[in-house]
Amino acid sequence: MTPSSPPGVLPFSHRPTTRERTWAIVGGSTGNLVEWYDWYAYAAFTLYFAPHFFPSGDGTA
């Protein structure tokens, strides 16, 4: 079995620039912020949605 690349050479030799790294961090952080906001909004509104979706008079709900 022979390697497709010579030893010591990575197949992806592109090193990201500072700008590319910054955009990756900003994009990842923005996505994480949206996910946390979504989770907190759902958790806050659960108190209001629960009585409508699961009425107390219904034993199976």
**DSSP string across 1-61:** ---SS-TT--S--PPPPHHHHHHHHHHHHHHHHHHHHHHHHHHHHHHHHHHHHS-TT-TT-
CA-CA distance, 55 to 61, in Å (whole number)? 7
CA-CA distance, 42 to 49, in Å (whole number)? 9
Q: What is the mean pLDDT of each run of 10 residues along the chain (61 residues)?
A: 61 84 97 96 90 77 60
Residue 14 has a pLDDT of: 81
